[in-house]
Amino acid sequence: MHLKYYKVDIPLINSFRTSFGTISNKKALIFELNADGITALSESVSDDVPAYGPEDNYTVLHIVKDHLVGFVRDLPTPDVFNRRAAGIRGNNMAKASVEMLLHDYHSRVEGKPLHLFIDPESRGYANVGISLGIDKTEKTIERISNALHEGYKRIKVKIKKGYDVELLSTIRDHFPDIELSADANSDYSAKDFETLKRIDRYELVYLEQPLYSDDLVYHSKLAKELSTPICLDESITSPAIAEAAFDIGACQVVNIKPGRVGGLTNSLEIAKIARRNGYHCWVGGMLETGIGRSFNVALASSHLVDYPGDTSPNSRYFERDIAAPTYEMHDGIIKPHDGDGIGVHIVRDLFGKHIIEEGDLL
């Protein structure tokens, strides 16, 4: 058995601007496990800067190397791994990297595509929306128009303080009836409720993560003042927090990212909790390469996920992706691959050009 990590640096076709900063290059950790003739892969959603969440590539590698790798020597199932890793607090992005590697490995061992391995009732396809970074308003209008022609089922725009009401008003002038949402990535606070209330009139399907990630209580207060449903992303880091957030009325929708919640098992648990409470969920994205994207597409195909997600086709992000085959979107739908596990492999020559660091873990 052999476990390796690679750190890659790949330029994005378009840099992606959010309220917390601009991402121009995808700097990801890729994990590769070889055992019994099977190659399994995973990708960490961390970046070099801990701006979206508290982990970065350096902490993920440290936690995997010094605390998690010891749990995978006997190639446990993801659930056994999760029980072993429960003694390590937090560090969900690190845990998710290993948990998803084991999901890919075990679905390949069983000869099943990942989407069926994690959900025998998989729909077999993911409904796809687009997440548009902050840009000049006229550019955003043009991008929305293009996205609608390409078939995207929901348009999400990034907002931040001072770049919100006017943007949404202009979008609604051009596109009065589209399924529209806005994502603030935690930029607002309890002082901004009056501004946020002005967003209500644009009839968003939801407003994503308006307040700071720790702020469940104020999200619940805000939710009572808005008719727009609240969707939480950064705040929801575990099934228990999802349950609590629904319980106190802090949100009606959850953006599930397996990397943020410690992997696919927790992701599916959160989707079940949303459904049990009569609420909604969808699968987000972190500008992943084709490796991380595969896990998102498999999860987004689950029958438990009811809203369109942020899993655009590879070609929106990269000139050429390091993983093949790529995902194509038709009529706003992306299908997971038929192959075992995530169904993708690394394109070696291209991958080699983007590696900036590598090492053995087991």
Which spans of this chain sit near ligand OSB (rule: CB under 6 A)? 52, 131, 183, 185, 233, 284-287, 310, 312
- In the complex, the smallest distance separating the C-beta of residue 54 from ligand OSB, rounded to whole angstroms, is 14
- Minimum CB–partner distance for residue 140 and ligand OSB (Å): 14
**CA angle, 344 as apex, 112 and 128 as ends, to 5°?**
90
Q: Rounded to an integer, what distance in angstroms lies between the CA atom of residue 103 and that of residue 214?
A: 30
Query: What is the 8-class DSSP label of residue 188?
Result: B
How far from 100 is each of 44, 76, 291, 332, CA to CA, in Å? 9, 12, 11, 26
What angle do the packed helices 92-109 and 264-276 form, to 10 degrees? 100
Q: What is residue 118's three-state secondary structure? A: helix
Instruction: Compute the least distance from the CB of residue 22 to ligand OSB, in Å.
Output: 11
Number of residues that bind Mg ion (CB under 5 A): 3
Written as six digits, the tokens of 96 are 């998710």
Q: Which is nearer to Mg ion, 68 or 157 (CB)?
A: 157
- What are all long-range contacts of 21-25, with beta carbons under 8 Å and residues at least 24 apart? 21/49, 21/51, 22/133, 23/47, 23/287
Which of Mg ion, ligand OSB, none has residue 343 at its interface (CB below 5 to 8 Å by kind)? Answer: none
Residue 128 contact, options Mg ion, ligand OSB, none, Cβ 5-8 Å cut-off depending on partner type: none
Amino acid at 330: H
- Show the binding pattern over residues 308-347: x = contacts Mg ion (CB under 5 A), - = does not: ----------------------------------------
| Beta carbons of 95 and 68 less than 8 angstroms apart | yes
- 282's enclosing H/E stretch is strand 280-283
Rounded Cα–Cα distance for residues 270 and 202 (Å): 28
Q: Is 233 in the site for Mg ion (CB under 5 A)?
A: yes
The one of Mg ion, ligand OSB, none whose footprint includes residue 287, by CB under 5 to 8 A per kind, is ligand OSB
Residue number of the CB closest to ligand OSB reads 285
Beta carbon nearer to Mg ion, 183 or 215: 183
Question: Which position has the token pair 């596109």?
Answer: 175
Q: Which stretch binds Mg ion (CB under 5 A): 71-79, 132-140, 191-199, 231-239?
A: 231-239
Binding to Mg ion, residues 246-265 (CB under 5 A) = none
CB of residue 215 vs ligand OSB: minimum separation in angstroms?
A: 16
327, amino acid identity: Y
**Closest distance of CB 284 from ligand OSB, Å:** 5
- Which tokens in the block code for residue 250? 């802090």
Catalytic residues: 158, 257
Site string for Mg ion, 137-176 (x = CB under 5 A): ----------------------------------------
Instruction: Considering the complex, state which of residue 171 and residue 287 has its C-beta at the smaller distance from ligand OSB.
Output: 287
Q: How far apart are CA 168 and CA 306, in angstroms?
A: 25
Strands 230-232 and 206-208: parallel
DSSP lists the bridge partners of residue 5 as 31, 359
Q: Which helix (H) or strand (E) holds 230?
A: strand 230-232
Question: Which of residues 287 and 304 has its CB atom nearest to Mg ion in the complex?
Answer: 287
Nearer to ligand OSB, 78 or 133 (CB): 133
Nearer to ligand OSB, 104 or 183 (CB): 183
Give, as ranges, the residues between 191 and 230 that touch Mg ion (CB under 5 A). 208
Single out the residue of 55, 56, 183, 321 in contact with Mg ion (rule: CB under 5 A).
183
Contact residues toward Mg ion (CB under 5 A) are 183, 208, 233
